[in-house]
Amino acid sequence: MFNNIGIEKLTFIDTYGLDHEKLPTAEVLQNRYNILFNEFPNIETVLFVRALGSDSPTDLATAIPLIYASNPAVVPYVVFTKIDENKIIEAQSNKSKIDLVELNKHKPIKAVDYFLASRNERTIKKILSEASIPEILIESRYEVLLNNLMPYCSIDKECYVDNNKEYVEQLFSSILNKEHLGKSLVNIDALESLAQSLEFKGTLTKLLKEMFVKASKNWSNFTLQRRTIGANRKRLEADELGYDGTYLDSWQSRFNTGYNQVFSKISPTDFEQLFKVNQSTNESAAIQEILNQFSKYFLRFGNFIERGKVNEYTKFKTIVVNSNPEYTKYSRLFCDIRPIHAWLSKVYSFGDYFDKIETEIYDVVLSKFLKSFIQDCRDHNVRILRKSIKSAKGDSTTILEDYFVNYDSKLIDKEGFIANIKSTSLVR
């Protein structure tokens, strides 16, 4: 089945004890998420696993917004296990496709009804909104969550095998198809044009400066944490950009945090000025979701300094390091500088020297935008087109012609593009 939908390898990551009965506080949970996503930056999906007969999973109203705060590119899904212990399901003669939503209508199942009851939906969405998650994403992600509530039997009972296959395929098809991006096409022509405008440059530069400010850190509040201060000092002395321990203080982690706080919670005004699209429209869902994971193209630069080596992936790091006035003025150990926390505060004041490197940083990010951001938008469009072609009756030429005329007229290799859409499987 996985071969049919194009999956060659799956990696599951341990939850760091997040499945223990005693629920952690929001602060502890946030810290664990931060560490988890920092250690495994390629995570794209979180599966919340709950027994169908368990109580209402009220903890998810806290957990889901914290996931967005830690890594907004990660999409949550819910899997219900132990469905064989539900009396209604057990009594069904045909268990090949178990519809939890329909079952809940006849007799509420606490764990399922939690998501379907309108009062709970309003509560969850309110919490998500208070976490500064864009409104369009609250709606689209909640819809994806509801559409993929997965019933699963984890023990070897033949009568549930077909149901398991049905929903496992549905779940991974949703993940591979990036269903959370929505169903609206992104205007590629418009993106390429606005990237040349002065307003785009001004807005993006302003946001990048905010990112540098958010990435900065004042160490004066950490004077009692001598081991943390010492660990970061030693790393910097050894040409390593900070230390990720109890606190995520490496430069890469700091900039990832800054990016998430600025771009993943971008205001409607800045979003519209940047993309010329209203943040409440369906098209904006795809753009915002792609923006959420755009930082991987220039912020996953690693924390070791490789002197004299500059390539496409380390340009951002090289500029930030070589331009840092406090870090570059010393060529040897810094341990004779006191107090250490005051020196660290100066080193981590990235916002203070952004104006001097503004043009260089903008050029790096713009090049990634033109190459990678727009390509991700085009890939999203391809997935939408494949679905349209698959469901179309008769000739699909009109669908493709409409796309080239209204969305992507500058695409050079149209014939190859069309052949790719028609020959590749749906989810890939």
Last residue of a domain, one of 152, 181, 210: 181
pLDDT value of position 330: 52
CA distances from 333 to 32, 241, 244, 250, 383 (A): 33, 14, 21, 18, 53
Helix (H, G, I), strand (E, B) or coil at 240: strand
Q: Is 100 exposed, middle or buried (0-12, 13-18, 19+ CB in 10 A)?
A: buried
Q: In this structure, is residue 37 part of a structural domain?
A: yes
The answer on 263 and 192 residing in a single domain is yes
Distance from C-alpha of 361 to C-alpha of 355, rounded to nearest angstrom: 10
Last residue of a domain, one of 147, 181, 215: 181
The answer on 334 and 228 residing in a single domain is yes
Q: How many domains is the chain partitioned into structurally? A: 2
Q: In this structure, is residue 413 part of a structural domain?
A: no
pLDDT in tens, the chain (428 residues): 888 878 888 889 877 566 555 667 888 888 888 888 998 988 999 999 999 998 888 888 888 888 888 899 999 999 999 999 999 899 888 999 999 999 998 888 999 999 888 888 888 888 888 888 888 898 998 899 999 999 999 998 999 999 999 999 999 999 999 999 999 999 999 999 999 999 999 999 999 999 999 999 999 877 668 888 989 988 998 889 999 988 899 999 999 999 999 999 999 999 999 999 999 888 999 999 999 999 999 999 989 987 777 777 889 999 999 999 887 655 455 556 678 888 899 999 999 999 999 999 999 999 999 999 999 999 999 999 988 888 877 677 888 889 999 999 988 888 888 877 776 654 43
Half-sphere exposure of 23 (CA within 13 A, CB side): 9
The answer on 321 and 270 residing in a single domain is yes
The answer on 362 and 252 residing in a single domain is yes
Helix (H, G, I), strand (E, B) or coil at 248: strand
Distance from C-alpha of 102 to C-alpha of 75, rounded to nearest angstrom: 25
The answer on 215 and 164 residing in a single domain is no
pLDDT value of position 16: 59
Residue 104 belongs to domain spanning: 26-181
Question: Strand 150-151 and strand 75-81: pairing?
Answer: parallel
pLDDT value of position 199: 95
DSSP 368: H
pLDDT value of position 321: 93
